[in-house]
Chains A and B, each alone.
Chain A
Amino acid sequence: MKIDAIMLNAEDNVATAVQDLEKMQMARVRFGENILEVQITETIPYGHKFVMKAMVKGEPILKYGEVIGTATEDIAVGQHAHVHNIESTRGRGDLR
């Protein structure tokens, strides 16, 4: 059956959309053999991430069970998670 998103690791706090998702729709998120349902609160383009567990500013973003960056603001479940609210912690020659 068609799925809307994939979550890869039990520790992850984001999932990746594999369809274009619309505001207020319920997304079917595949996690291993299971399907989780999440209410989407803003438009999520195909391939982009949304939040599975609410997070506060400064919290690490986990995908593949690993840290992919840090939240630059509080982010609620179902919100779009991308460059506007996540920043990298690596290769930052600008912060030296």
Chain B
Amino acid sequence: MSERKLEFLGYHRQDGTVGTRNYVGVLSAVVCANEVVEEIVRRVDGTARFTHHQGCCQTPMDIGQVTKTLAGLGNNPNLYSVLIVSLGCESTDLDAALDGIRANGKRAELLIIQESGGAARSIAQGVLLAQEMAREASYAKRESAPLSKIMLGMKCGSSDTTSGLIPNPAIGVASDLLINAGATSIIGETTEFIGAERIIVRNAANSKVSDEIIAMVDRMEKRAMAVGQDIRGGQPTQGNIKGGLTTIEEKSLGAIAKAGKSPFQAAYEYGERPRVSGLVVMDSPGREPEILTGLAAAGCNIIAFATGRGAPQGFPFVPVLKITGSRTAAIKMSDHIDLDLSAVIDGMLTIEAAGQQIFRELLAVASGGKTKAEILQYTNSMDIYTRGPVI
């Protein structure tokens, strides 16, 4: 890359992280509070919502996951401050979530619907509180930040065979460039490591890391097998098969190309904040709402998303850059695709050059350039990954 000093413009937070966006996050503590969250966010400019379907009538393991995920989302650098909306009788541990956010010096407020006197009064109170919080947030300014403050999330979805040939390896090149500048990249989708174990072992920083990742993959495969089903019913998806992907192994090998050439430094649980820089793995399923939420909860301030057939999903407060190698997707799904790399097929662009293009685009978006999903507000892809039954 050029000898010019590489940096981006972001919002510096008290805990040392840097946001690429600056919202007041309005987070729902439980499925039953979603409507109030949506109304507050609809009325108040400068806010971003997080709604989901969890938080009550679940096993303690899953309730713990919901609490940790809310704290993680609240700590995402793209949020200036946080308003949690609770129904009042759910199982989510509100104190733990609020304390987890305030511990980083961030303002976190709580609105309880059953104490405010119903949805109508809660919406009115929430709008007034969020308005004041949004005004405070609006004074924050973008300032230059080193690339080590980028935490990139990587994901591929609605894949076809071009995903593994073009955008995934190109994202790998961009991720390597960021990592060489001190950044952190997170790859999730544990299901899509099935069949790619040899690559994990070869690229892991040490055997402890490769053992941890392989144990996670094994756990995910056993979870799918425990219900006595053939994983082929769901992975690859019917859309993947139509696109030419034959087996989960093939999908995995294409997906893991996003990891680039950097060594795997660590493996983390869903939504856990990485404690090292470089390339790390996060345990997560492949479905968009759950993985985008997990990446946001882990602290990702930007996400690179490769697609073959044209995946539209965005996230409310983390920009999701859509990248394709398929000309068909670039044309047919033009309102969702930010970067078209199909020139690789014509022999006009190498994977290396395509990766540098992604790298430059990521820095532009990190500095305030908007993704198509943000502009069209196609940003509803969110939910918390849980493992147990709803009871």
Residues of A in contact with B (beta carbons under 8 Å apart): 1-3, 6, 8, 16-19, 30, 45-49, 61, 63-64, 66-69, 81-83, 86-96
Contacts and interface: CB of A to CB of B under 8 A. Distances in A.
Interface of B: 160-162, 164-165, 194-196, 198-199, 221, 224-232, 235, 241, 243-244, 246-250, 253-254, 257, 308, 326, 328, 345-347
B246 A83 contact: yes
A45 B249 contact: no
Nearest to B198: A66
A93 B165 contact: no
Contacts of A61: 246
Contact of A88 (B227, B248, B345): B248
B194 A91 contact: yes
28 contacts: A1-B347, A3-B347, A6-B165, A16-B244, A18-B162, A18-B165, A46-B244, A47-B161, A47-B244, A47-B326, A48-B244, A49-B244, A49-B246, A61-B246, A64-B253, A66-B196, A68-B246, A69-B249, A83-B241, A87-B247, A88-B231, A91-B225, A91-B230, A91-B235, A92-B231, A92-B232, A94-B230, A95-B230
B252 to A, nearest CB: 9
Contacts of B244: 16-17, 45-49, 82
Nearest to A44: B244
A88 B308 contact: no
Contacts of A16: 161, 165, 244
A67 B199 CA distance: 12
Given A16-B161, A93-B224, A96-B228, A63 B253 contact: yes
B228, B250, B254: residue with the most chain A Cβ atoms closer than 10 Å = B250
Contacts of A30: 347
Contacts of A63: 250, 253
B241 to A, nearest CB: 6
Contacts of A2: 345-347
Contacts of B161: 16, 47-49
Nearest to A92: B230
A82 B246 contact: yes
Contacts of B243: 47
A93 B246 contact: no
B190 to A, nearest CB: 12
Contacts of A86: 246-247
Contacts of B194: 90-91
A2 B112 CA distance: 61
A81 B246 contact: yes
Given A6-B165, A18-B162, A47-B244, A93 B249 contact: no
Contact of A18 (B227, B248, B254, B345): B345
Which 6 interchain pairs have the tightest Cβ spacing? Answer: A91-B231, A47-B244, A93-B225, A88-B247, A48-B244, A68-B250
Nearest to A64: B253
B345 to A, nearest CB: 5
A85 B173 CA distance: 34
B195 A93 contact: no
B164 A64 contact: yes
A33 to B, nearest CB: 11
Contact of A47 (B162, B196, B235, B347): B162
Contacts of B160: 47
A75 to B, nearest CB: 12
A64 B254 contact: yes
A47 B248 CA distance: 16
A10 B217 CA distance: 28
Nearest to B251: A68
Contacts of B195: 66-68, 90
Contacts of B254: 64
B221 A91 contact: yes
Nearest to A81: B246
Given A2-B346, A83-B241, A96-B228, 6 more contacts: A16-B244, A18-B162, A47-B244, A47-B326, A66-B198, A88-B248
